[in-house]
Amino acid sequence: MLLAVISLVFIGLATKAAGQTVPPEVDADWESYNNGVEGWRYNADEKTLTPKSAPQLVEKWRFPAEGVT
């Protein structure tokens, strides 16, 4: 029984990994919200945020959400 469960988990993980793709190369002009129906939100032309510039980020605003989040 344990072997069957482990096998199913392994097959599920292998299937998930095989179905993933790399975000497509896109122009700076996104066709739709989230840069397409896949929702990658990836912009190959983004050069502003880098590992070197990340420590310089500062909080500009904060929005207190009411209720359960």
pTM of this prediction? 0.30
Place of tokens 């072997």: 3
Helices (H) then strands (E): counts for the chain:
1, 0
**Alpha carbon of 34 to those of 18, 28, 47: distances in Å?**
23, 12, 18
CA nearest 45: which of 68, 63, 23? 23
Taking only the tens place, the pLDDT of each residue in 11-65 is: 766 665 555 566 556 556 777 788 778 888 877 777 888 889 899 999 999 988 8
The Cα–Cα gap between 64 and 22 comes to 35
